[in-house]
């Protein structure tokens, strides 16, 4: 079977853009991606669009042109963007189409997400009593992990410090000022052990990718960035997820990420040691730490040494979150997973400028994780 290639990328900068709707940010990204690919909207045969809270993606045809294009909306929690991309590559792999787009955008209100119990099959008392809080879950999860695997709070701080430092060189990032490690560690506490600098914020942004069959990509004359694997998986038994009134005894280590990652490596026919650059879900600083292990890049506990030695810095053995990740870009749910793939294409093309991974990387990995226990992984090769 021929590979699916990413032939165009576009992004609307993340953060806060008052007066521009989520859909408009998605449209901006699509236009940029089309221009990058050198194709016109009427040539696009299909689209998958992801948004969690900013309206129906297919309404963007009003802006892009009423060509009658097939346009399918995807709403799949934090894996919405990854699911859109998975679906788009399937449409090409099947032979049904040879040119289409995956687009994701979102626009969330300021502050923490305020989820309601009924949306998650939970009784009202759970929200009434103050448990319906994502930050509480993330903090509980990392506290347990730090206890089991000897991860220090300084290491969490180093993750955030790296994110803001990398974002200085990423024009699409939101928080682009370096923050000193001490300031991160001494920042206002949100949910121990996390200070405000160690959590990402709900935000806004849009990303679009143009996908093509290998044959079509060659005709377009674009450098071939191949989508070697795209997986989306849900949680296994005994996992520990957001909004969990209970966890099975012995649970808390099996995750959707481990399944999505394992299956993506199998599809791509390579292993973690073959990856040159990785974008890993960093909803909070500890998530990046845990996801390094869950995706197979190191053993539990080795992160302490990895961060101390700078192995995940842009010049390190495995650069992680080269554009500052969610910590620096914020998290517009529908767009977040596609931002990671955007960044990986930038890196594989060698267009990263101040944040470019040296040595002409040939493989790139992306991973999202979120409620209600979903994960999506991609592996790119050039």
Partner 1 sequence: MRAIAPGLFTDEPQPRLVGGRHRDSGRIVFPCPPGNDYEPHPLRRDGTLWSWTIQRYRPKSPPYAGPEAFAPWPVGYVELAGETIVEARLANVAFADVHIGMPLELTFIPLDPAAAEPVMIHAFQPAGARA
At 211, give phi and psi (nearest 5°).
-110, 145
**Which residue's CB is nearer to partner 1, number 41 or number 113?**
113
Q: Quick check: 345 and 258 in contact, CB under 8 A?
A: no
Q: Which residues contact 171 (CB under 8 A, 6 or more apart)?
A: 13
Q: Quick check: 85 and 338 in contact, CB under 8 A?
A: yes
| CA terminus-to-terminus distance, the chain | 17
Region of 96-104, 167-175, 243-251, 272-280 interacting with partner 1 (CB under 8 A):
243-251
**Which residue's CB is nearer to partner 1, number 284 or number 294?**
284
Does residue number 1 form part of the binding site for partner 1 (CB under 8 A)?
Answer: no
Structure tokens at 198: 């160690």
Least Å from the CB of residue 6 to partner 1? 38
Contacts (CB under 8 A) with partner 1, residues 190-209: 190-193
Among 16, 75, 93, 144, binds partner 1 (CB under 8 A): 144
Q: Rounded distance, CA 31 to CA 12, Å?
A: 10
Region of 14-22, 39-47, 84-92, 244-252 interacting with partner 1 (CB under 8 A):
244-252
**Which residue's CB is nearer to partner 1, number 96 or number 248?**
248
> Which DSSP symbol is given to 274?
G
Contacts (CB under 8 A) with partner 1, residues 256-295: none
User: Kind of pairing, strands 277-280 and 46-50?
Assistant: unpaired
User: Kind of pairing, strands 99-107 and 363-370?
Assistant: unpaired
Site track 96-135 with partner 1 (rule: CB under 8 A), x = hit: ---------------xx-xxxx-----xxxxxxxxxxx--
Least Å from the CB of residue 180 to partner 1? 22
Q: Rounded distance, CA 361 to CA 350, Å?
A: 8
Among 21, 140, 152, 234, binds partner 1 (CB under 8 A): 140
By the criterion CB under 8 A, which residues form the site for partner 1?
A: 111-112, 114-117, 123-133, 136, 139-141, 143-144, 147, 188-193, 244-249, 251
């Amino acid at each position: 079977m021929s590979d699916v290639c990413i032939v165009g990328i576009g992004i609307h900068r993340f953060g806060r853009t008052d007066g521009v709707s989520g859909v408009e940010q998605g449209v901006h990204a699509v236009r940029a991606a089309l221009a990058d690919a050198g194709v016109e909207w009427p040539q696009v045969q299909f689209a998958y669009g992801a948004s969690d809270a900013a309206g129906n993606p297919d309404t963007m045809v009003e802006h892009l042109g009423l060509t009658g294009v097939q346009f399918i909306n995807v709403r799949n929690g934090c894996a919405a963007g990854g699911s859109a991309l998975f679906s788009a590559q399937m449409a090409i792999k099947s032979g049904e189409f040879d040119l289409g787009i995956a687009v994701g955008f979102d626009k969330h209100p300021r502050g923490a997400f305020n989820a309601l119990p009924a949306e998650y099959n939970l009784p009202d008392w759970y929200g009434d009593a103050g448990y319906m809080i994502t930050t509480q879950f993330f903090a509980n999860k990392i506290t347990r992990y730090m206890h089991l695997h000897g991860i220090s709070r300084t290491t969490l701080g180093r993750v955030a410090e790296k994110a803001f430092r990398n974002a200085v060189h990423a024009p699409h990032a939101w928080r682009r000022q370096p923050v000193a490690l001490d300031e991160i560690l001494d920042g206002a506490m949100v949910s121990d052990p996390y200070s405000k600098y160690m959590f990402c914020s709900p935000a806004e942004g849009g990303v679009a990718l143009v996908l093509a069959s290998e044959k079509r990509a060659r005709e377009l004359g674009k450098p071939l960035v191949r989508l070697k694997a795209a997986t989306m998986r849900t949680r296994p038994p005994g996992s520990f997820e957001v909004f969990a009134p209970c966890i099975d005894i012995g649970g808390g280590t099996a995750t959707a990420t481990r399944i999505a990652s394992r299956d993506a490596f199998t599809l791509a026919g390579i292993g973690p040691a073959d990856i040159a650059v990785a974008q890993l879900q960093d909803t909070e600083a500890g998530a990046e730490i845990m996801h390094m292990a869950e995706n197979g890049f190191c053993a539990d506990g080795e992160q302490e040494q990895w961060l101390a030695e700078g192995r995940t810095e842009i010049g390190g053995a495995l650069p992680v979150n080269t554009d500052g990740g969610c910590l620096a870009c914020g998290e517009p749910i529908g767009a977040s997973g596609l931002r990671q793939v955007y960044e990986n294409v930038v890196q594989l093309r060698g267009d990263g400028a101040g944040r470019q991974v040296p040595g002409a990387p040939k493989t790139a990995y992306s991973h999202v994780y979120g409620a209600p226990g979903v994960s999506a992984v991609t592996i790119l090769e050039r």
